[in-house]
Structure 1
């Protein structure tokens, strides 16, 4: 196949276009690579601080007193005398169980007591008469002894009758169900006309004292052993009075306004969970803490005079659960494994792997790696994470113009 030939003017146009392309390529500046540029990062310098060490533990609220109101006699409920959910006082009448059968039993016991007292009077008189006659041998000694025994049996019958009366009075008193404690009563589990049983101990209501409440706490044995070692080694100092400060964090994240008192630390370990039980008591006059509520308990451990704290976001977590800090050493990034203690006011307590004076990177992790050169910038806690580093980086970029261009990196007159 024959190839078409270009005419003279076509060859001239091609040569001109190629020359223009070569000139344009020669006029372009090669892209500058930011070799050796330092990446700005936010840092803090770690200094030892005297800090009260606390630990957050799960807890559950329990009532100081929890009285289950149950039936102690059989019968029909005839009256309910309280407002459900209201406050009741000790001795206040709550329920009435039909007292008629028990009143009848009491009346019968009283009648038996009167009969026993009458029989005893006759037996005593007979014994006294036989005591005079036996001296004159008017009656036999056996008859006298029988009279004395009959008088003693009559006295015993009186005692039994009195006990029966007392028992009947107690049963009659149980028909009026009263509150055994001061507190707040819940709902009524029965209504008027319900049959209740003493044998089955039918529950009628529940009264709970809420002006003070218990908070039951559990803690693992490993944490208890670590605390003991820290106190024995002097790493932690116990409070002068030996008391432990206890605070409660509510479900919405707010701190309960009243602090509590630790009553005891468990001396036995639950074999099912491997945990030790602790109990604290809190004032609860406003009844904010309710029985059954789950809370977070902030328990004081002691005082660390040389605590090393870093912001929470400075700690990097690996998939295996280990913790790492990024430090600045000789102007470069160095990754250091650390042991992390409790979280105190949004700061991690570092127990191992960190020294006083170390420079810790807090923000700007996206563009760094171990060994990368960085430009440390003091971290401002009130500024969003990475904001200072980002502003510094933008400022550096704007202050570095390209060759042949203006201050913003735009082409100069040659591009016009």
Structure 2
């Protein structure tokens, strides 16, 4: 009987101890949100464009004899790219030169006749009408000579076009015609394209509302542009790496695209190593001055999800609360928070992964949390 009572007593002690045992609050380090001057960063998708691009088209009719360049290599302005069969053009030039020689001979003959008649008309050996007719014939011969000279110049130019040259310096693309193919000046057959890749342009398409809001904040003094109105741009490539050279906005479209409601911004980047290629999509971070009274947080305080970013906030009762935030880019190892937080709130910097929403936590400054066990 005593054993049974002891067993019952032992069973009664277990629940009392379990009820009295509670999990200690998780220790987290927090940073108090303070309003300060932070970079005004706007992240936009962009597309790389060649600073100059030239389509090389046929300016003479004929058969392509040879391709004179290596596809995908840099060529100098005026470098030969293709050779068109020149024999027909050479024959046309010879024909034009023959017509020029004939016109010169005819003009010389008529000039002699006019000179003789000029002396005879003074002696009244011929009528004035005959002299005027000779004078008119000389003017016609002079015009025919000019026409023949123009034909020679045109034929010479056509023969020169048989060697297709690069109109600008840059990287020559894939050949659009093959040796033996027929090209036409009338249809302006596309032969290749040349792109200048250093420097390059990157174009962005922000909404007009974004630009208007930015201009309004600048006018109100909430945003200050440094270095006059120069806007610096950094790029994030499609593999996630940072492009090492910053660019600068050099053009802003003054009209709005009626189909999309966007305006075009264009930035210029040095591209000596040719990492940026025309058509490549990138993400640009535009540094639009500084925001007075902005908010920033350390990178480690932000939890990046698939559809949104969030932070863990400690309220006045010491309870962890998850808060979605809108980010506006990174600067100096900190995220710029565009919305979702107010000055004075406590944000968990370290240890937020140990706290669940609604759980009580023990908040302490980052230095104390770092020095603790």
What band does the TM-score fall into relative to the shorter chain? 0.7 to 0.9
Equivalence for 1:354: 342
Q: CA 1:36–1:110 in structure 2 vs 1: closer, same or farther (change >3 Å)?
A: closer
Task: Measure the CA separation in 2 of the matches of 1:34 and 1:379.
Answer: 29
1:255 aligns with 2:280: no
TM-score, structure 2 length as denominator? 0.87
Q: Is 1:326–1:333's contact at 8 Å kept on the other side of the alignment? A: no
Equivalence for 2:123: 136
Equivalence for 2:258: 271
1:303 aligns with 2:290: yes
Is 291-300 or 340-349 further displaced after alignment?
340-349
Q: Is 2:64–2:178's contact at 8 Å kept on the other side of the alignment? A: yes
Larger relative contact order (CA 8 Å, sep ≥ 6): 2
Alignment deviations for residues 333-383 of structure 1 (CA, whole Å, 9 cap, x no partner): 38697874513245242457502x3322341575342xx653213347xxx
1:186 aligns with 2:173: yes
- Rg larger in 1 or in 2? 1
Task: Measure the CA separation in 1 of the matches of 2:171 and 2:305.
Answer: 51
Could you say what secondary structure the match of 1:308 adopts?
strand
* Superposed displacement of residue 170, structure 1: 0.8
Equivalence for 1:46: 33
Task: Measure the CA separation in 1 of the matches of 2:303 and 2:70.
Answer: 57
Alignment deviations for residues 13-36 of structure 1 (CA, whole Å, 9 cap, x no partner): xx6775454344345461224579
Equivalence for 2:364: 377
Is 307-316 or 133-142 further displaced after alignment?
307-316
Task: Measure the CA separation in 1 of the matches of 2:308 and 2:93.
Answer: 77
**Structure 1 unaligned residues grouped into runs of 5+:** 1-14, 381-387, 396-416
Alignment deviations for residues 125-147 of structure 1 (CA, whole Å, 9 cap, x no partner): 21222222222222222111111
Q: Is 2:63–2:181's contact at 8 Å kept on the other side of the alignment? A: yes
Alignment deviations for residues 42-72 of structure 1 (CA, whole Å, 9 cap, x no partner): 4211223332222111111111221222111
Equivalence for 1:231: 218
Task: Measure the CA separation in 1 of the matches of 2:364 and 2:357.
Answer: 14
Equivalence for 1:246: 233
Is 346-355 or 105-114 further displaced after alignment?
346-355
Q: CA RMSD for the aligned pairs?
A: 3.1
Equivalence for 1:121: 108
Residue number among 330, 343, 346 corresponding to 1:344 in the alignment: 330
Task: Measure the CA separation in 2 of the matches of 1:322 and 1:191.
Answer: 52
Equivalence for 1:367: 356
1:73 aligns with 2:81: no
Equivalence for 2:314: 328
Task: Measure the CA separation in 2 of the matches of 1:260 and 1:216.
Answer: 12
**Structure 2 unaligned residues grouped into runs of 5+:** none
- Count the aligned residue pairs: 367
* Superposed displacement of residue 282, structure 1: 1.0
Residue number among 171, 195, 198 corresponding to 1:208 in the alignment: 195
Could you say what secondary structure the match of 1:219 adopts?
coil
Q: CA 1:50–1:350 in structure 2 vs 1: closer, same or farther (change >3 Å)?
A: same
Task: Measure the CA separation in 1 of the matches of 2:253 and 2:153.
Answer: 44
Task: Measure the CA separation in 2 of the matches of 1:271 and 1:263.
Answer: 23
Task: Measure the CA separation in 1 of the matches of 2:73 and 2:304.
Answer: 51
Task: Measure the CA separation in 2 of the matches of 1:326 and 1:19.
Answer: 51
